[in-house]
Every structure is written in structure tokens, then in C-alpha cells.
Amino acid sequence: MADTMANAAPAARFLTRDRIIKWAPLLVLGVLILLFPFFEWLEDIRAGEAHAYLIDSRFFSIRNAARIGIAAAPALMVAIGVTFIIIMGSIDLSMEGTVSVCAVVFAFAFLAWGGTVLSWAWLAIPAAMLVGAAMGFINGLVHVKLKIPSFMASLAMGFVGTGLALLLTGGDRTRVEDPIFRSLLTERWFNFPVMVYVALAFLLIAWFIQSRTTLGRNFYAVGGGEELAHASGLNVERVRLMGFTLAGVFFAVGALLAVGRIGIAETATGNNFMFVSITAVVVGGTALWGGIGGVWNTLVGVLIVSVINNGMVVIGLPAYVQDAVLGILVILAVVLSTDRRSVSFVK
């Protein structure tokens, strides 16, 4: 699922163990999608109502798919950004700060430059992406030039980002009400809002970067063996810097979609993105130790997490058990998609 390179993959044995493990996340997603309607069916049958499995399901419907799509789109962008970093064997915890800063800068610029996409205010969109890139670049600089492990560097940069967003807003929230920008949410093509297509477009861009560009392949090289890549003449520092910068751009896109979704930009826009995105990446089958996985895995991972969150409310699970169910399902998903023979130990 990860690499669909032009002429790669010799067509050999079809159902190997490797293949099953590779497809496990998708399998989990499939099971979840069938599981929640089952609980709906059970509930109605018990209540003595007629209910044809799947057909009468409210969960298993286009409308709900669109809702899951809306919930997943911003998280997908952020998760894709961090996917590149995790493929390199590093980690980026700065997304909450970066998303907030980008959202706030976007909203300020958008309103200052006209407040509608039809004016010069559309420039706020590339401006936000530039800001994201800059944040990512600084994050990368701190990590690479000061030789601080990415976990710590990005954690601290996350504080700086949130702090910067707070400094910019003074704590106020800004509404972005331009109907054209908000058509990300309100306009639907084939039942799905525009933002879902925007997210898919960026997913394809990410896939393109991952499989068709030198930079994308170099992420895998660095994740597979950094010292070896360096000895082969690869400028690993540059790849890392570019990686963090690219992640910043995707965080910015996530911020734009998040603003598009609720029409508000604030310091809290970035909240909760950290654990959701990293969990999604791991659940999708991208290994935290680097070199394995890709953006399609991340798509599946984000969908798994979003489907669980949506499904739990839909089947009426009490709020206090939802956290535990999410936790247990995440563990299960990771267990199923881990090739235990290829890893000697895990920390």
C-alpha cells in the first residue's frame, strides 16, 4: 500500500505474511466499519425494531462518511506532515503550536487584505503556508544545528508556537466568515464537502512527494540508515531540514482546513492535534523507528481514529468509557500491523 512505484514490486506470491501485515491497518478499518453498524443493528433488534444490517445503518451512510471526512481532513494534513518526519526516524511534536500560529496568521492576513477570497486576501492562504514552512524550518534548525533530539526540540518549539499564537491574538478569536472560503465546508460535490477534496488533493501531493521526488525517497534513506546515507554522500542535515519544513507546510494546510471547518482561528485551534496525529500515523502502520510506511498508511490511520471516535458516539457509548475503548482499539490496531519477526525489540 505504501509504495506503488512505477515498475517496482515483482508479482510474486500473493498472500504472504508480509502482505497480510502490510494490509492489516486497512483490515482493521474494514472491521471497524462493519462493527459499528452491528452494534446499531443489535440495539434496534433488542428494541424490537426492524433493522436490516448495513442498509438501515446510520453509521454506514454517505452522510456519515461525509461527517467523518470533515472530522478527519485537518487531522489528516497534520498527520501527513508528521509522517515524513517519522519515516526519517525522528518525531515532531510541534504541530499544535504551528497549527495555531498558521491559523491565526491566516485569519489576520485574510481579514486585513480584504476578507474575501475574491480580493487580495487569497494571498493569506500561501502566506499561512509560508509561515508553516518557516516554523518547520526553525524547528529543523534547532534540531539539526543545535543537535537536540527532535523529540525535545519539537516539544519546546511547540511551546514557542502556542506562545507566539497567544502573543499574536492576545487570546482573542478571529472569525473568518467569507462565504467563499467557508464553502470548504458548505459546498458539497457528490455529497462530500470541498474540504475533503482539498485534503485528498494534498494527500496525492504528499504521495507524489513520497514516491516521485528525490526528497521523498531521501526520507526513506535517512530513516533506513542515517549514517549510511551520510556516507553515501547524502546531505542528511539538509534532508532533515527540508523534512521539517515540509511538515510545517502540511501543518499549515491542516490549520487552513481547521479554520475552514469552524470558521474561527484562535490559539486553541491547534489543540489535540499532537496525540491524534501521531496515534494515527502509528496505527496506520508507519513504524516509529523509521523507514517503513507512508502517506497511504497515514490515511488509513486517520480514518481508523476518526471512525472510532465517530462510531462510539453513534452507537451511544457512555462518554466515560470512550477513552478506554479508543486506547484499547489503538493497541489492537498496532499489534495487528506490527511484523514481530522483523523487530527484535521495541521500546
Binding to another protein (CB under 8 A): which residues in 66-95? 66-67, 70-71, 88-90
Question: Which of 14, 15, 48, 170 contacts another protein by CB under 8 A?
Answer: 170
Contact 278, 162 (CB under 8 A): no
Going by the DSSP 8-state scheme, the letter that residue 15 receives in this structure is S
Q: With CB under 8 A as the contact rule, which of the stretches 105-113, 114-122, 245-253, 278-286 interacts with another protein?
A: 278-286
Contact 177, 121 (CB under 8 A): no
Asked if 151 interacts with another protein (CB under 8 A), we say yes
Question: Which of 263, 284, 294, 301 contacts another protein by CB under 8 A?
Answer: 263
Asked if 221 interacts with another protein (CB under 8 A), we say yes
Q: With CB under 8 A as the contact rule, which of the stretches 109-117, 245-253, 297-305, 312-320 interacts with another protein?
A: 312-320
CA atoms 104, 109, 115, 116: torsion sign = negative
Asked if 285 interacts with another protein (CB under 8 A), we say no
Asked if 14 interacts with another protein (CB under 8 A), we say no
Query: Which is closer to another protein, CB of 123 or CB of 343?
Result: 343
Q: List the one residue out of 50, 95, 45 whose CA is nearest residue 75.
A: 95
Asked if 158 interacts with another protein (CB under 8 A), we say yes
Question: Which of 25, 33, 59, 181 contacts another protein by CB under 8 A?
Answer: 59
Contact 300, 279 (CB under 8 A): no
Q: With CB under 8 A as the contact rule, which of the stretches 22-30, 114-122, 184-192, 295-303 interacts with another protein?
A: 184-192
Asked if 286 interacts with another protein (CB under 8 A), we say no
Contact 332, 304 (CB under 8 A): no
Query: Which is closer to another protein, CB of 157 or CB of 249?
Result: 157
Q: With CB under 8 A as the contact rule, which of the stretches 47-55, 198-206, 216-224, 296-304 interacts with another protein?
A: 216-224
C-alpha cell at 126: 500561501
Residue type, 70: I
Q: Measure the CA angle with vertex 24, ends 202 and 310; round to 5°.
A: 60
CB atoms within 10 A of CB 82: 27
Residue type, 197: Y
Asked if 185 interacts with another protein (CB under 8 A), we say yes
> Shortest Cβ distance from residue 100 to another protein (Å)?
9
What separation in angstroms does the CA of 190 have from each of 33, 66, 138, 160? Answer: 21, 10, 40, 41
